[in-house]
Amino acid sequence: AMLSSTAFADPHPDAELIIEGELHIATRAEPPEHLGGVLPEIYSGWLFRTDETRELQMDDFDNPGMLFAERGEDRWELAEGTANQSCADCHGDVESMAGVRAVMPKVNENGELWSMQNYINNCRTERMGADAWGWNSEPMKDVTSLISLQSRGMPVAVKIDGEAAEFWEKGREMYYTRFGQLELSCANCHEDNWGRMIRADHLSQGMSNGFPTYRLKNASIVPLHQRFRGCIRDTRGESFAEGSQEFRELELYVSSRGLGLPVEGISVRQ
């Protein structure tokens, strides 16, 4: 085996993400100011994947995540609950959700930091009189995939000041905390060592703009909090729960590191 370290280093130098030969999605951007120069440029995780994996995302027919969004369309129209209403009854065409994914998570009118899943479940329980969907459940994956797709190509634009500031600070603190028996922080892998190999894995900058992601290894959509759980597990650490306050704060902070990178809607990763 060739073990030259430079052979593995860095994201793909010039690959361009163009979907169906027409929709151009930037995978490189100027780093947000709050990063204070710790990253020279910000990169989508797409640039760190193999040719084969990258190609799957360039064609909606090949992208297995699109099947989830398709199922999401049926769910969007399905009347449920004591109110016997569907998402479409109130929100109309799902295109009305354009831009929503790009600003999640965000502070709601009661001052709480909510992820998209929280907004959806609030509609289900408070407005439809239906059961909440589990964070990693199939219907939640389907509908979040569909809604995210409406923001495809729109730059991540989470708000981090005002009421969001205290949540953002906590997320930032978590990002630099060395969890678990291996004492590894998110920054150890994704800020200090992106571009390097950790065994067979090519480390990206751990950006969240591609989520929800279709992960080949799981053969399913992987929501962002499930990815967080996997990364903390790999530190031999005790994870937080998907949907927890901690993970929503981390979601806000991680999203803010990718401010300016376009939402990929449903990305494909290995």
Task: Note the residues at the interface with another protein (CB under 8 A).
Answer: 1, 3, 5, 8-9, 177-184, 188, 192-193, 196-200, 229-230, 232-239
The binder of 54, among another protein, ligand HEC, none, by C-beta within 5 to 8 A per type, is: none
Applying the rule CB under 6 A, the residues between 241 and 260 that interact with ligand HEC are 250, 254
CA-based angle 135:139:143, to the nearest 5? Answer: 90
| Stretch of 24-32, 34-42, 63-71, 200-208 lying at the interface with ligand HEC (CB under 6 A) | 200-208
Catalytic (active site) residue 231: yes
Applying the rule CB under 6 A, the residues between 27 and 66 that interact with ligand HEC are 45, 48
Check: CB of residue 258 under 8 Å from CB of residue 55. Answer: no
CB closer to another protein, 101 vs 227: 227
The binder of 84, among another protein, ligand HEC, none, by C-beta within 5 to 8 A per type, is: none
Instruction: Give CA–CA dist 1/200, Å, rounded.
Output: 13
Instruction: Give CA–CA dist 121/249, Å, rounded.
Output: 18
CA-based angle 115:121:126, to the nearest 5? Answer: 125
Binding ligand HEC (rule: CB under 6 A), the pick from 52, 163, 201, 238 is 201
CB closer to another protein, 199 vs 217: 199
Instruction: Give CA–CA dist 123/143, Å, rounded.
Output: 13
Beta strands in 109-198 (DSSP E): 113-114, 197-198
Catalytic residue positions, numbered:
231
